[in-house]
Amino acid sequence: MNMQQDIIVTRDVDAVLIPAGNRVLVPEGVTVRIMQSLGGSYTILTPHGQLARISGKDADALGLAPVAETAAAKSTDVSASEDAVRDGVMDELKQVFDPEIPVNIVDLGLVYGCDLKPAEGGGYTVEIQMTMTAPGCGMGDVLKVEAEDRVRGVPGVKDAHVEIVWEPAWDQTRMSEAARLELGFG
């Protein structure tokens, strides 16, 4: 959802600058513009003209309801089938959005691989290989952590690791047809 509305920040809140990836504090009382709200996080325009990402758990600082945990994030079930786990992992990865492009990382073609390995005591360890749209993208670590956190909440997942890879290089042909249409590359 694109919100494009001005909001007065109600408390100091941590944010991540886009695309640099540096952490910053957005102070209480400043006016920011919400540019995008997708996948449970908010992309804002600061008074200094910088884009930053605020986590959904901190939405109250924007006067909005914090993003609730999904049912998957609350589950500790390790008995899910491999197919169910794989489907759940992909569903959660589709909730991770590039902060500059309103498309999730799966449809953007950033996810190169997803391997499930049986974990001791049941469940799976998920190993994901993903890339960025450009080697200098500072959001890599932010997207990596968000993807790992979301995947760890999938029933049947005991742990998750994301490796950022650069080969093969990403290009627009890796996007889904829906993503190309959304971005006007149709």
> Considering the chain, what is the average pLDDT of its residues?
88
The predicted structure's pLDDT at residue 3: 60
| Predicted TM-score of the model (pTM) | 0.75
* Spatial distance between the Cα atoms of 149 and 138, rounded to a whole number of angstroms: 19
Clarify whether residues 32 and 104 are in a common domain. no
Clarify whether residues 41 and 118 are in a common domain. no
Clarify whether residues 150 and 127 are in a common domain. yes
Tokens of 113: 């691989």
* Spatial distance between the Cα atoms of 80 and 156, rounded to a whole number of angstroms: 5
Domain boundary among 44, 62, 80: 62
Clarify whether residues 151 and 85 are in a common domain. yes
Clarify whether residues 80 and 159 are in a common domain. yes
| Confidence band for 76, pLDDT divided at 50, 70 and 90 | low
The more confidently predicted of residues 155 and 55 is 155
Listed in sequence order, the residues at least 6 apart from 22 whose beta carbon sits closer than 8 Å to its beta carbon are 16, 138
Average pLDDT over residues 73-100: 83
Clarify whether residues 27 and 82 are in a common domain. no
pLDDT tops 50 at residue 180 = yes
Clarify whether residues 145 and 53 are in a common domain. no
pLDDT in tens, 105-136: 999 999 999 999 999 999 999 999 999 998 88
| Confidence band for 25, pLDDT divided at 50, 70 and 90 | very high
- Indicate which CATH number applies to the domain containing 10: 2.30.30.40
pLDDT > 90: percent of the chain: 62
Clarify whether residues 50 and 80 are in a common domain. no
pLDDT in tens, 48-75: 999 999 988 899 999 998 876 544 444 5
- Indicate which CATH number applies to the domain containing 138: 3.30.300.130
The residue segments making up the domain with residue 116 are 71-182
| Confidence band for 39, pLDDT divided at 50, 70 and 90 | confident
Q: Print burial letters for 47-67: b (CB count within 10 Å at least 16), e (below 16).
A: eeebbbbbbbebbebbebeeb
Clarify whether residues 76 and 24 are in a common domain. no
Clarify whether residues 85 and 51 are in a common domain. no
Total of domains in the chain: 2
Clarify whether residues 51 and 82 are in a common domain. no
* Spatial distance between the Cα atoms of 179 and 186, rounded to a whole number of angstroms: 9
Clarify whether residues 54 and 77 are in a common domain. no
| Confidence band for 169, pLDDT divided at 50, 70 and 90 | very high
